[in-house]
Chains A and B, each alone.
Chain A
Amino acid sequence: MIKKFSLTPYLFLTPALLAIAIFVLYPIIAVVYYSFTDYTIVNPPVWVGLSNYSSLIHDTTFWRALSHSFVYLLVTPTLIFLSIILAIIVDRKLPGISAYRALFFIPVISGSIAVGIAWRLMLDTNGIINALLLSIGVLKEPIQWLAEPIYTLPFCMLMTVWLGVGYYMMIFLAGLQNIPDELYDAALIDGCNSWQKHWYVSVPGLRPQITFVAIISSLAALQVFNEVFTLTNGTGGVLQSGYTVVYYLWQQAFRLSHAGKASAIAMVLLLITLIFSMMNIRLLERGTEAE
């Protein structure tokens, strides 16, 4: 039987395909092209071949930003660990437990810029953190937290964890509620204590969620910008201590008008995130095969 060609499904697809072509495909192609040009945004791009890429190889600031972005990946295991702990804690039938879950979720629905400004105020010389530490005698002099290079990245990462832990907690909570009670009963009969019950039942049961969270949180960590921008007030921190790849990309494009070089940075980032995604998906497939 010969299938009759029908135009109708393609017509239905056309608006979506057009939107994707205009808002996704074209920008990607444009960025690829710009990465081979000297482009100042205000003047037309001029073809320079691979010089943007070769300049990145010799650019110590780029390597510093890249290393910071890799350090930033530490938020991923931290988020997974804390979110699972929190999910286990709130996965109980207690009066008012919904309020606790909502409390942990509030940072997720708060704007990251607003949160960044609030954190900046807390970390100010006269902020609440210094006031607290001074009042309990931990400090004798207030610390200018955001002017100390060693604190810039850790505070940005802390803010990322604080912002994201509620969201990932909800994902793990949903995963926990899908694990059959019989498995926990069997674990108890086998002599597991409360800790072992979660280690041998909950964690393996949450494998799909862990993989999912690992992928999306590591991609988000590699692309971090808002936390760095708000906490350092747009400067990237003293001694470039808060420079990440996306911050550096932004600075090159919008502060120094090197859109060509910024596009090359974007291509490198694209490559890294692609490799990360493929590795994560591979891990997921292996885990599923093993089961």
Chain B
Amino acid sequence: MCNVCGCGPGEVRIESDPTGKKVSDHSHQHAHSYDHDHAHDHAHEHHHHEQGHKHHEHHGHDHPHHGDGTHDYGSGPAGASVPGMSQSRMIQLEHDILAKNNTYAAANRQYFSDHGILALNLVSSPGSGKTTLLVRTIEELADGVDAYVVEGDQQTSADADRIRATGAPAIQVNTGKGCHLDGHMVGHAVDHLAPKDGGILFIENVGNLVCPASFDLGEAHKVAILSVTEGEDKPLKYPDMFAAAGVVIINKVDLLPHLDFDIDAAITNARKVNPSIKVLKVSARTGEGMDAWLQWLTAARSMVLAGHQLAVAE
């Protein structure tokens, strides 16, 4: 079972290669180094005095003595070898529970940095228009900028098919029972995608505003997408996600005249949770606000390339 997401073997599927050709169901082949549950049932029963040395200093208290001459200090609550101490011991750990995911995420981040790749983690509720926004973004991206997409959904490869129609390589990751992508699924998907240096990698997370906030994928920024058909109080209802995001895209603004959605209240709420969050108002359908979003992408990409050898070459 996957340690990070809890999915069973075979439930996470990376359905296809970047060109859409079906490949075998993804099997977790990579470094699941601690998954094997060895039944190491060490029966450490502390059989003292087995070598027949002298019994000494037994000041009148009883230990369970076996007929074979062994003294068993290991059984029973009072079977301690040190007076006043129970057999169990305390271990101070201070171990971060999500450390394993963070290790995968750090490896991804290093890879993106080495290759001058801008990686973005797109998070939202289901139905906020993430895929439509992505399709339009890829179509309008400047020539010479390579876009790659990792699509996370519980099931189906419908979204990856929509992305591939634009010509951009896409990998569908089906999380099965899982509710979010994790660092290790993304690392594997990136291996399949083999993005060119200097490209942009869009990671479309599973539609869910809860868990993806806790799972770092190694991205440069989380981009939260909130559509105007949702409530303006969503940033307050799901504060973890809006606190973790660097940008919020308010999508479907072409529908505003038909709705009671208070866009200023939505922005105020987002800023309550995250005072430094950038807000972009976009309609992926009509193209309104796309320029600002593309400018932001260009700027973010420049930041990734700054100091990278690719920047010198451009």
Q: Do A and B come from one complex?
A: no
